[in-house]
Amino acid sequence: MIIAKQMDIRANIKEFFDMAYNGETILVPRKQNHNVIIMSEEEYNKLNQASRITAYSALLTNRIDTELKIHNKQKLASIRSMKKNWNGNGAPAFSKKLIDKVENLLNKLVIQPEIFPTALGTIQFEYDNSRRDHMEIEIGVSEVAEVFIVKFNGEELTENINVTAEIINERVQSFYG
Q: Under the rule (CB under 8 A), what is the footprint of other proteins?
A: 75, 78-79, 82, 86-91, 114, 116-120, 124, 126, 128, 134, 136, 138, 146, 148, 150, 156, 158
- CB nearer to other proteins: give 44 or 152: 152
Cβ proximity to other proteins: between 25 and 124 the closer is 124
Identify which of residues 79 and 168 has a Cβ nearer to other proteins in the complex. Answer: 79
| Comparison of 17 and 116: residue with beta carbon closer to other proteins | 116
- Cβ distance to other proteins smaller for residue 9 or 82: 82
Residue 84 burial by Cβ neighbours in a 10 Å radius (0-12, 13-18, 19+): exposed
Rounded to the nearest whole angstrom, what is the least distance from the CB of residue 12 to other proteins in the complex?
59
Helix (H, G, I), strand (E, B) or coil at 128: strand
DSSP-derived secondary structure letter, 88: S
Residue 107 C-beta: closest distance to other proteins, Å:
20
Query: How many H-runs (helices) and E-runs (strands) does the chain carry?
Result: 5, 8
Strand ranges for 48-132 from DSSP E:
114-117, 123-128
Q: Is 155 helix (H, G, I), strand (E, B) or coil?
A: coil
Cα–Cα dist 71/78, whole Å: 11
Nearest approach, Cβ of 35 to other proteins (angstroms)? 47
Element (H, E) at 145: strand 144-150
Q: Closest separation between CB of residue 3 and other proteins, Å?
A: 50
Minimum Å distance from CB 103 to other proteins?
Answer: 17
Instruction: Assign residue 84 a region (left: φ > 0; alpha: ψ between -120 and 50; beta: otherwise).
Output: beta
CA triplet 167, 116, 126: central angle to 5 degrees? Answer: 45
**Nearest to other proteins of 20, 76 (CB atom):** 76
Minimum gap (Å) between residue 76 Cβ and other proteins: 11
